[in-house]
Amino acid sequence: MTKVVGVSFGTKDGRNDAFCKEALMGAREEGCEVEFIHAMDLDIRHCTGCQSCVFAQCAGRGNPCIHKDDFDWLMTELFHADGVLFVDPIFENGCSGLFKTVCDRFGPRTDTGMCRMAQETAEKNKAEGKPYRDIDPAILNPRVCVSFIAMGGSEWGTSAQADHQMQAMSPSWKMIDNEWVPWSQKALVDDEVIARAHQAGVNLARAAKDFDTATTLARGACPHCQNNNFYLWPGTNKVTCTVCGLDGHIAFDEKGNVEVHYTHEETHDERGLFRAHDTDEGKQIHGEDINRMYAEIGPLMQDERLKARRAAYKAFVSPAYPPYYVDGKRPSK
Protein backbone atom coordinates (compact mmCIF):
# COMPACT_ATOMS: atom_id res chain seq x y z
CA MET A 1 0.00 0.00 0.00
CA THR A 2 1.19 3.51 -0.82
CA LYS A 3 2.31 5.29 2.35
CA VAL A 4 2.20 9.05 3.01
CA VAL A 5 3.96 10.51 6.06
CA GLY A 6 3.07 13.96 7.37
CA VAL A 7 5.52 15.90 9.53
CA SER A 8 4.37 18.96 11.48
CA PHE A 9 6.91 21.43 12.85
CA GLY A 10 4.46 23.55 14.86
CA THR A 11 3.22 23.46 18.43
CA LYS A 12 1.39 20.34 19.53
CA ASP A 13 -2.25 20.27 18.39
CA GLY A 14 -1.86 23.70 16.80
CA ARG A 15 -2.60 24.97 13.29
CA ASN A 16 0.35 23.17 11.70
CA ASP A 17 -0.76 19.84 13.15
CA ALA A 18 -4.33 20.52 11.99
CA PHE A 19 -3.33 21.32 8.41
CA CYS A 20 -1.01 18.34 8.28
CA LYS A 21 -3.79 16.02 9.42
CA GLU A 22 -6.27 17.60 6.99
CA ALA A 23 -3.90 16.79 4.14
CA LEU A 24 -3.40 13.27 5.49
CA MET A 25 -7.18 12.84 5.45
CA GLY A 26 -7.08 13.64 1.74
CA ALA A 27 -4.31 11.07 1.24
CA ARG A 28 -6.28 8.42 3.13
CA GLU A 29 -9.32 9.07 0.96
CA GLU A 30 -7.08 8.12 -1.97
CA GLY A 31 -6.42 4.75 -0.34
CA CYS A 32 -3.04 5.53 1.21
CA GLU A 33 -1.69 4.42 4.55
CA VAL A 34 -0.89 7.56 6.56
CA GLU A 35 1.49 8.34 9.41
CA PHE A 36 1.79 11.55 11.43
CA ILE A 37 5.00 12.80 13.09
CA HIS A 38 5.21 15.79 15.42
CA ALA A 39 8.78 16.98 14.88
CA MET A 40 9.08 18.81 18.20
CA ASP A 41 8.63 15.50 20.03
CA LEU A 42 11.89 14.21 18.56
CA ASP A 43 15.48 14.69 19.70
CA ILE A 44 17.07 16.19 16.58
CA ARG A 45 20.39 17.90 17.18
CA HIS A 46 22.06 20.57 15.10
CA CYS A 47 24.53 19.59 12.40
CA THR A 48 27.99 20.53 13.71
CA GLY A 49 29.63 20.71 10.29
CA CYS A 50 32.16 18.08 11.40
CA GLN A 51 32.14 16.55 7.89
CA SER A 52 32.39 13.00 9.25
CA CYS A 53 29.67 11.86 6.85
CA VAL A 54 31.55 13.35 3.89
CA PHE A 55 34.86 11.75 4.86
CA ALA A 56 33.07 8.40 5.23
CA GLN A 57 31.42 8.81 1.83
CA CYS A 58 34.74 9.62 0.17
CA ALA A 59 36.23 6.48 1.76
CA GLY A 60 33.33 4.23 0.73
CA ARG A 61 32.28 3.66 4.32
CA GLY A 62 28.65 4.71 4.15
CA ASN A 63 27.16 8.00 5.32
CA PRO A 64 27.08 7.82 9.14
CA CYS A 65 26.45 10.78 11.44
CA ILE A 66 28.20 11.41 14.76
CA HIS A 67 24.89 12.21 16.45
CA LYS A 68 23.02 9.41 18.17
CA ASP A 69 19.58 10.97 18.23
CA ASP A 70 16.19 10.47 16.55
CA PHE A 71 17.18 11.76 13.11
CA ASP A 72 18.17 8.39 11.68
CA TRP A 73 14.74 7.04 12.61
CA LEU A 74 13.06 10.05 10.98
CA MET A 75 15.23 9.76 7.87
CA THR A 76 14.39 6.05 7.51
CA GLU A 77 10.66 6.69 7.94
CA LEU A 78 10.69 9.36 5.24
CA PHE A 79 12.93 7.63 2.69
CA HIS A 80 10.86 4.46 2.94
CA ALA A 81 7.59 6.33 2.46
CA ASP A 82 6.09 7.03 -0.95
CA GLY A 83 4.92 10.54 -0.14
CA VAL A 84 6.09 13.06 2.47
CA LEU A 85 4.30 16.21 3.59
CA PHE A 86 6.01 18.91 5.63
CA VAL A 87 3.87 21.54 7.37
CA ASP A 88 6.04 24.27 8.86
CA PRO A 89 5.41 27.61 10.60
CA ILE A 90 7.04 30.63 8.98
CA PHE A 91 9.70 32.19 11.22
CA GLU A 92 11.05 35.61 10.19
CA ASN A 93 9.84 35.26 6.60
CA GLY A 94 11.36 31.79 6.11
CA CYS A 95 11.34 28.26 7.44
CA SER A 96 11.44 27.40 11.13
CA GLY A 97 14.75 26.69 12.85
CA LEU A 98 13.78 23.06 13.42
CA PHE A 99 12.98 22.56 9.75
CA LYS A 100 16.35 24.10 8.83
CA THR A 101 18.05 21.71 11.25
CA VAL A 102 16.34 18.76 9.59
CA CYS A 103 17.32 20.12 6.17
CA ASP A 104 20.95 20.48 7.32
CA ARG A 105 20.99 16.93 8.61
CA PHE A 106 19.73 15.60 5.26
CA GLY A 107 22.69 16.85 3.28
CA PRO A 108 25.31 15.78 2.33
CA ARG A 109 24.44 12.45 3.97
CA THR A 110 21.49 12.03 1.64
CA ASP A 111 22.80 13.92 -1.37
CA THR A 112 22.17 11.58 -4.28
CA GLY A 113 25.38 12.45 -6.11
CA MET A 114 27.54 12.08 -3.02
CA CYS A 115 25.88 8.81 -2.01
CA ARG A 116 26.21 7.26 -5.46
CA MET A 117 29.87 8.23 -5.49
CA ALA A 118 30.21 6.66 -2.02
CA GLN A 119 28.56 3.43 -3.19
CA GLU A 120 30.90 3.20 -6.18
CA THR A 121 33.85 3.52 -3.81
CA ALA A 122 32.29 0.94 -1.48
CA GLU A 123 31.93 -1.52 -4.36
CA LYS A 124 35.57 -0.95 -5.26
CA ASN A 125 36.63 -1.48 -1.64
CA LYS A 126 34.55 -4.65 -1.49
CA ALA A 127 36.26 -6.03 -4.58
CA GLU A 128 39.69 -5.21 -3.14
CA GLY A 129 38.93 -6.66 0.30
CA LYS A 130 38.99 -3.27 2.01
CA PRO A 131 36.52 -1.99 4.64
CA TYR A 132 33.27 -0.74 3.14
CA ARG A 133 29.71 0.12 4.02
CA ASP A 134 26.77 0.13 1.63
CA ILE A 135 24.37 3.05 1.26
CA ASP A 136 20.66 2.42 1.80
CA PRO A 137 19.18 1.66 -1.66
CA ALA A 138 16.25 3.97 -0.84
CA ILE A 139 18.75 6.86 -0.68
CA LEU A 140 20.64 5.78 -3.79
CA ASN A 141 17.50 5.58 -5.92
CA PRO A 142 14.88 7.75 -4.20
CA ARG A 143 11.24 7.40 -5.17
CA VAL A 144 9.68 9.90 -2.79
CA CYS A 145 7.19 12.63 -3.67
CA VAL A 146 7.17 15.59 -1.29
CA SER A 147 4.89 18.56 -0.66
CA PHE A 148 5.24 21.58 1.60
CA ILE A 149 2.78 23.85 3.38
CA ALA A 150 4.15 27.01 5.02
CA MET A 151 1.96 28.52 7.73
CA GLY A 152 2.45 32.30 8.05
CA GLY A 153 1.36 34.63 10.81
CA SER A 154 1.00 37.50 8.31
CA GLU A 155 1.50 38.19 4.61
CA TRP A 156 5.30 38.13 5.10
CA GLY A 157 6.61 34.79 3.89
CA THR A 158 8.38 35.23 0.57
CA SER A 159 11.42 33.14 1.58
CA ALA A 160 9.56 30.16 3.04
CA GLN A 161 8.80 28.31 -0.19
CA ALA A 162 12.41 28.49 -1.38
CA ASP A 163 13.65 27.38 2.07
CA HIS A 164 11.31 24.40 1.97
CA GLN A 165 12.12 23.44 -1.59
CA MET A 166 15.80 23.24 -0.67
CA GLN A 167 15.01 20.16 1.42
CA ALA A 168 14.03 18.22 -1.69
CA MET A 169 17.28 19.04 -3.48
CA SER A 170 19.80 16.85 -1.64
CA PRO A 171 17.79 13.60 -1.67
CA SER A 172 16.37 14.20 -5.19
CA TRP A 173 12.77 14.00 -4.02
CA LYS A 174 10.06 14.98 -6.48
CA MET A 175 8.23 18.12 -5.31
CA ILE A 176 4.48 18.12 -5.97
CA ASP A 177 2.94 21.10 -4.11
CA ASN A 178 4.64 24.04 -2.40
CA GLU A 179 1.90 25.96 -0.58
CA TRP A 180 2.04 29.15 1.47
CA VAL A 181 -0.81 30.09 3.83
CA PRO A 182 -0.70 33.74 5.01
CA TRP A 183 -2.65 34.94 8.06
CA SER A 184 -2.88 31.37 9.27
CA GLN A 185 -4.40 32.32 12.66
CA LYS A 186 -7.81 32.39 10.95
CA ALA A 187 -7.11 29.57 8.49
CA LEU A 188 -9.01 26.90 10.42
CA VAL A 189 -12.28 28.76 9.84
CA ASP A 190 -11.56 29.42 6.19
CA ASP A 191 -13.19 26.63 4.19
CA GLU A 192 -11.31 27.52 1.01
CA VAL A 193 -7.92 27.30 2.71
CA ILE A 194 -8.86 24.01 4.40
CA ALA A 195 -9.91 22.66 1.01
CA ARG A 196 -6.49 23.59 -0.39
CA ALA A 197 -4.75 21.63 2.36
CA HIS A 198 -7.03 18.66 1.74
CA GLN A 199 -6.32 18.83 -1.98
CA ALA A 200 -2.58 18.95 -1.30
CA GLY A 201 -2.96 15.59 0.41
CA VAL A 202 -4.95 14.21 -2.51
CA ASN A 203 -2.36 15.51 -4.99
CA LEU A 204 0.49 14.00 -3.02
CA ALA A 205 -1.24 10.64 -2.74
CA ARG A 206 -1.95 10.46 -6.46
CA ALA A 207 1.63 11.41 -7.29
CA ALA A 208 3.07 8.92 -4.81
CA LYS A 209 1.02 6.11 -6.34
CA ASP A 210 2.46 6.86 -9.79
CA PHE A 211 5.95 8.22 -9.14
CA ASP A 212 7.26 7.76 -12.67
CA THR A 213 4.70 10.08 -14.26
CA ALA A 214 4.26 12.49 -11.34
CA THR A 215 5.21 16.11 -11.99
CA THR A 216 5.28 19.24 -9.87
CA LEU A 217 2.12 21.30 -9.62
CA ALA A 218 4.02 24.36 -8.36
CA ARG A 219 4.43 27.26 -10.76
CA GLY A 220 7.22 29.78 -10.28
CA ALA A 221 9.53 32.14 -12.13
CA CYS A 222 12.34 29.61 -12.49
CA PRO A 223 11.52 27.68 -15.68
CA HIS A 224 13.51 24.71 -14.40
CA CYS A 225 12.63 24.18 -10.72
CA GLN A 226 9.67 26.60 -10.35
CA ASN A 227 11.32 28.58 -7.55
CA ASN A 228 10.45 32.27 -7.19
CA ASN A 229 13.58 33.50 -5.38
CA PHE A 230 16.67 34.69 -7.26
CA TYR A 231 19.95 36.40 -6.52
CA LEU A 232 20.27 39.52 -8.69
CA TRP A 233 23.84 40.30 -9.75
CA PRO A 234 24.35 44.07 -9.33
CA GLY A 235 24.93 46.04 -12.49
CA THR A 236 23.85 43.21 -14.80
CA ASN A 237 20.72 41.34 -15.89
CA LYS A 238 22.24 38.10 -14.60
CA VAL A 239 20.31 36.09 -11.99
CA THR A 240 21.00 32.88 -10.06
CA CYS A 241 18.17 30.66 -8.84
CA THR A 242 18.51 30.25 -5.09
CA VAL A 243 17.28 26.66 -5.25
CA CYS A 244 18.60 24.84 -8.32
CA GLY A 245 21.64 27.13 -8.62
CA LEU A 246 21.30 27.88 -12.32
CA ASP A 247 22.62 31.11 -13.77
CA GLY A 248 20.45 32.93 -16.31
CA HIS A 249 19.26 36.37 -17.24
CA ILE A 250 16.03 38.29 -16.86
CA ALA A 251 14.04 39.80 -19.69
CA PHE A 252 10.56 41.25 -20.23
CA ASP A 253 7.87 39.87 -22.48
CA GLU A 254 5.61 42.01 -24.68
CA LYS A 255 3.31 42.66 -21.71
CA GLY A 256 6.15 43.80 -19.48
CA ASN A 257 6.18 40.64 -17.38
CA VAL A 258 9.51 39.44 -16.02
CA GLU A 259 10.92 36.24 -17.52
CA VAL A 260 13.99 34.20 -16.61
CA HIS A 261 15.96 32.55 -19.42
CA TYR A 262 18.59 29.83 -19.17
CA THR A 263 21.04 28.46 -21.68
CA HIS A 264 21.53 24.76 -22.37
CA GLU A 265 25.22 25.43 -22.98
CA GLU A 266 28.00 26.54 -20.66
CA THR A 267 29.10 30.17 -21.12
CA HIS A 268 31.78 32.26 -19.44
CA ASP A 269 29.36 33.51 -16.78
CA GLU A 270 26.40 31.13 -16.80
CA ARG A 271 26.11 27.48 -15.85
CA GLY A 272 24.22 25.38 -18.36
CA LEU A 273 21.07 23.44 -17.50
CA PHE A 274 23.06 20.24 -17.10
CA ARG A 275 24.53 21.68 -13.89
CA ALA A 276 21.19 22.11 -12.08
CA HIS A 277 21.53 20.68 -8.59
CA ASP A 278 18.31 18.68 -8.87
CA THR A 279 19.37 16.66 -11.93
CA ASP A 280 21.35 13.43 -11.91
CA GLU A 281 24.05 14.95 -14.09
CA GLY A 282 24.27 18.08 -11.96
CA LYS A 283 24.51 16.02 -8.78
CA GLN A 284 27.20 13.83 -10.29
CA ILE A 285 29.23 16.93 -11.19
CA HIS A 286 28.70 18.38 -7.72
CA GLY A 287 29.73 15.10 -6.05
CA GLU A 288 32.88 14.89 -8.15
CA ASP A 289 33.72 18.51 -7.33
CA ILE A 290 33.35 17.81 -3.60
CA ASN A 291 35.42 14.64 -3.86
CA ARG A 292 38.25 16.52 -5.58
CA MET A 293 38.17 19.21 -2.93
CA TYR A 294 38.47 16.71 -0.08
CA ALA A 295 41.35 14.98 -1.88
CA GLU A 296 43.23 18.26 -1.54
CA ILE A 297 42.55 18.69 2.18
CA GLY A 298 45.19 16.19 3.40
CA PRO A 299 48.21 17.98 1.87
CA LEU A 300 46.70 21.36 2.77
CA MET A 301 46.58 20.46 6.46
CA GLN A 302 50.38 20.21 6.42
CA ASP A 303 50.82 23.75 5.09
CA GLU A 304 52.84 25.73 7.65
CA ARG A 305 50.95 28.94 6.85
CA LEU A 306 47.67 27.23 7.73
CA LYS A 307 49.07 25.83 10.97
CA ALA A 308 50.41 29.24 12.01
CA ARG A 309 47.18 31.06 11.21
CA ARG A 310 45.01 28.56 13.05
CA ALA A 311 47.28 28.74 16.08
CA ALA A 312 47.15 32.54 16.04
CA TYR A 313 43.36 32.63 15.83
CA LYS A 314 43.04 30.11 18.66
CA ALA A 315 45.34 32.17 20.88
CA PHE A 316 43.74 35.53 20.02
CA VAL A 317 40.58 35.19 22.10
CA SER A 318 38.68 32.40 23.83
CA PRO A 319 34.90 31.81 23.72
CA ALA A 320 32.72 33.57 26.30
CA TYR A 321 30.37 31.49 28.47
CA PRO A 322 27.53 32.22 30.90
CA PRO A 323 28.77 32.59 34.50
CA TYR A 324 27.20 29.30 35.56
CA TYR A 325 29.30 27.26 33.10
CA VAL A 326 32.23 25.27 34.51
CA ASP A 327 35.34 24.85 32.36
CA GLY A 328 33.37 25.80 29.28
CA LYS A 329 30.58 23.33 29.92
CA ARG A 330 27.02 23.69 31.18
CA PRO A 331 26.70 21.96 34.56
CA SER A 332 24.44 18.93 34.59
CA LYS A 333 21.16 19.28 36.43
Tell me the CA distances in angstroms from 187 to 78, 111, 168, 196, one per residue in order: 27, 35, 26, 11
> Domain boundaries in the chain?
3-218, 230-333
Query: Between 3.40.50.360, 3.40.30.10, 3.40.50.460, 3.30.1490.190, what CATH number should domain 3-218 receive?
Result: 3.40.50.360
Q: Given its phi and psi angles, is residue 101 left (phi above 0), alpha (psi -120 to 50 degrees) or beta? A: alpha
Instruction: Identify the pLDDT of residue 279.
Output: 79
pLDDT confidence band for 328 (50 / 70 / 90): confident
pLDDT at residue 213 greater than cutoff 60: yes
**pLDDT confidence of residue 250:** 92
Provide the β-strand partners of residue 230: 241
pLDDT for 269 beyond 60: no
Please tell me whether the overall predicted TM-score, pTM, comes out greater than 0.85 for this model.
yes
Question: How high does pLDDT run on average in the chain?
Answer: 92
List the one residue out of 188, 150, 204 whose CA is nearest residue 34: 204
The 10s digit of each residue's pLDDT in 115-146 is 998 999 999 999 999 999 999 999 999 999 99
- Cα–Cα distances in angstroms (integers) from residue 55 to residues 50, 103, 105, 293, 307, in the given order: 9, 19, 15, 11, 21
Q: Are 309 and 284 in contact (CB under 8 A)?
A: no
- Mean pLDDT, range 222-236, rounded to an integer: 94
What is the per-residue pLDDT for 141? 92
pLDDT confidence band for 75 (50 / 70 / 90): very high
